[in-house]
């Protein structure tokens, strides 16, 4: 998307996450909060074992349930064009990424598995029910269309 009208990437990051929270609440998700602090991600990513998963740490405005991340996003700015991408954890399974890492040591893979499990949650946990991809996508679209400001 183009970055224009005096907006900056931080404003857009926050606004996108506000939309996502609105859509997730329509699904019945409860107790969602934004991460309020910005960690030193450069320092965090020095730990190669933990930094392979975007769900291992939360940045400001990322969405959490009980202090555990359920939406992971990243941005890249190309001149005046912003690319934002991310993942919404619908249910369990994402923590298995630890077994796909390049580390040859099982102890490192287990450490990452435990870390991800302790720092991430899911829409299913927040909503108290299984939520499919199409239902989640439709809910976000419904939130956008029902809020004229977006």
What confidence tens digit (pLDDT) does each residue in 11-69 have?
888 899 999 999 999 999 999 998 766 555 566 555 555 555 455 556 667 899 999 99
| 68 close to 120: Cβ distance less than 8 angstroms | yes
State the average pLDDT for the chain. 83
Among residues of the chain, what percentage have pLDDT more than 70? 80
Q: Which residue has the higher pLDDT, 107 or 2?
A: 2
Neighbours of 104 (CB within 10 A): 7
Enter the CATH code of domain 9-42+57-90+122-146. Answer: 3.30.930.10
Among residues of the chain, what percentage have pLDDT more than 90? 41
pLDDT of residue 53: 47
Whole-model pTM: value is 0.80
Angle at 64 between CA 128 and CA 50, to 5 degrees: 115
pLDDT of residue 41: 56
pLDDT of residue 19: 95
Question: Residue 71: helix, strand or coil by DSSP?
Answer: strand
- Mean pLDDT value of segment 79-88: 91
For residue 125, pLDDT beyond 80: yes
What distances in angstroms separate CA 69 from CA 4, 50, 82, one per listed residue?
Answer: 29, 15, 23
For residue 105, pLDDT beyond 70: yes
- Provide the residue ranges of all domains of the chain, joining segments of one domain with +: 9-42+57-90+122-146
């Amino acid at each position: 998307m183009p970055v224009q009208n005096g907006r900056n990437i931080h404003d857009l990051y926050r606004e996108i996450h506000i939309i996502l929270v609105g859509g997730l609440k329509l699904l019945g998700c409860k107790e969602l909060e934004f991460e309020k602090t910005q960690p030193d991600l450069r320092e965090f990513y020095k730990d190669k074992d933990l930094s392979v998963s975007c769900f291992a740490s939360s940045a400001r405005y990322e969405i959490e349930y009980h202090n555990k991340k359920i939406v992971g996003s990243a941005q890249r700015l190309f001149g005046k064009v912003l690319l934002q991408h991310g993942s919404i954890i619908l249910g369990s399974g994402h923590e298995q990424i630890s077994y796909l890492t390049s580390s040859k040591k099982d102890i490192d893979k287990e450490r990452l598995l435990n870390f991800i499990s302790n720092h991430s949650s899911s829409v299913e946990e927040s909503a108290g029910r299984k939520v499919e991809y199409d239902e989640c996508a439709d809910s976000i679209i419904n939130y956008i269309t029902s809020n004229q400001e977006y």
